Structure 1
């Protein structure tokens, strides 16, 4: 069953398409053929600005977990034979600190519907039974519904398009590398080095930001543009928040 054909989802996509088209037409006198791409950038910035309080809570939770790491390791040592009691004591510890071990998942979960909507708007041939007009919109001569992999398969290869995708993917790769360094700088002491398996798992998870790069290479250009702006925002936001929390701790 096609989820996008379900009546409520199809109606929502149609409304989103109409909104993008309206704003794009309003911006056309300023940005010309790139007006739809500009709408995507503006929507991304507005979304991320709205998520700043959640991002702040996420960074605070990271510092709380760093401070609680010795206590958590002690709980694991003391109650490793009783998983149920360990979970209860761990939950009590987080509750006492007014923190949540799931706080870091919220920004990603909240953005998932937005990325899915952008993807659908620029990959579906029809929306709610009507031809999709957004597929004809372009950025730098590249249709917003074209992916990097699809562009590689064209003959002859469209070099301006490859340069555009190359620039966007380079920004995502750079932000992923810097994000990994930022996380290592602030939170490497949390990893229990006495447990090699946990250390190896943490080292593997530290490469997760680069999955965005893989994803961005297969989704339509519109979604790649969204991911580029969003990951750059995340890096700057987290850098500023880490600086604000680091000197005074999570209780500030």
Structure 2
């Protein structure tokens, strides 16, 4: 097996005395927590960047008024302001992007019947009778919605819905406090994309429901754990920033 697969399998072996048949699922949750701990410095840096951008709002408004008839000068002035203050419009995306390789590794591990020419033994593991390599469609075909595997997914859907609702309400309050700029107001590279992202931000967490339904259960556990971590982390990091800028720190649903 691959190095990553061996790492997950060895971790499951260590957890087996505590979690028995659910040791592999527990290992995936623990791996996710470790990844989020490693990414946390980036999340903190993104939060500092969001707060710095919020503090720049008066200066940006002054620049916009000064160069109202010359968008090119406004763009150059805005770029210079961001460069001077060491603020990046895309900093909030980094935590989510860094996590993607781990998610895809788990997806691959629990989607492949063979790894390195050997039978994939990871597919033998379950979470309360739901195979970690299975999907929601498989669970529906094995006992239906209220069958044992189906109930595992219902529990995950309930958790995701609770987290998504929390994120939705919090982000709506942030956007109400500081609505995103209209397209073209901030013309620095990436600012328009971030403004568009901010508009759909309240609904992004609900997309996790679709992800959980279509990926292998192992990858779904990663997504659910990471999304829950993100909700708690953002609530802490942006607790003193009740503005729309904080919402942009929620760019990643992973």
Fold shared by both chains (TM-score > 0.5): yes
Q: TM-score, normalised by structure 2?
A: 0.80
Matched, 1:33 2:8: no
Alignment-derived partner of residue 242 in structure 1: 238
Alignment of 1:128-143 (within 5 A): 128-143=116-131
Q: Is the 8 A contact 1:191 1:202 kept in 2?
A: no
Paired residues in the alignment total: 234
Q: Is the 8 A contact 1:69 1:190 kept in 2?
A: no
Alignment of 1:1-252 (within 5 A): 14-73=2-61, 75=63, 79=67, 84-152=72-140, 154-157=141-144, 159-192=147-180, 202-244=198-240
Change (3 A) 1:115 1:52: same
Pairwise CA distance, 1:215? 1.1
Aligned residue for 1:53, secondary structure, equals helix
Q: Structure 1: where are the runs of 5+ without partners?
A: 1-12
- Structure 2: distance between partners of 1:245 and 1:202: 16
Q: Deviations over 1:192-248 (max 9, x none)?
A: 5777x99997443421222222111111111111111111111111111112556xx
- Structure 2: distance between partners of 1:30 and 1:201: 42
Q: Is the 8 A contact 2:123 2:131 kept in 1?
A: yes
Alignment-derived partner of residue 4 in structure 1: none
Aligned residue for 1:217, secondary structure, equals helix
- Structure 2: distance between partners of 1:211 and 1:221: 16
- Structure 2: distance between partners of 1:73 and 1:202: 19
Aligned residue for 1:243, secondary structure, equals coil
Aligned residue for 1:51, secondary structure, equals helix
Pairwise CA distance, 1:97? 2.2
Alignment-derived partner of residue 3 in structure 1: none
Pairwise CA distance, 1:87? 3.5
Q: Is the 8 A contact 1:66 1:190 kept in 2?
A: no
Pairwise CA distance, 1:75? 4.3
Q: Deviations over 1:159-178 (max 9, x none)?
A: 12111111112211211221
Q: TM-score, normalised by structure 1?
A: 0.81
Aligned residue for 2:214, secondary structure, equals coil
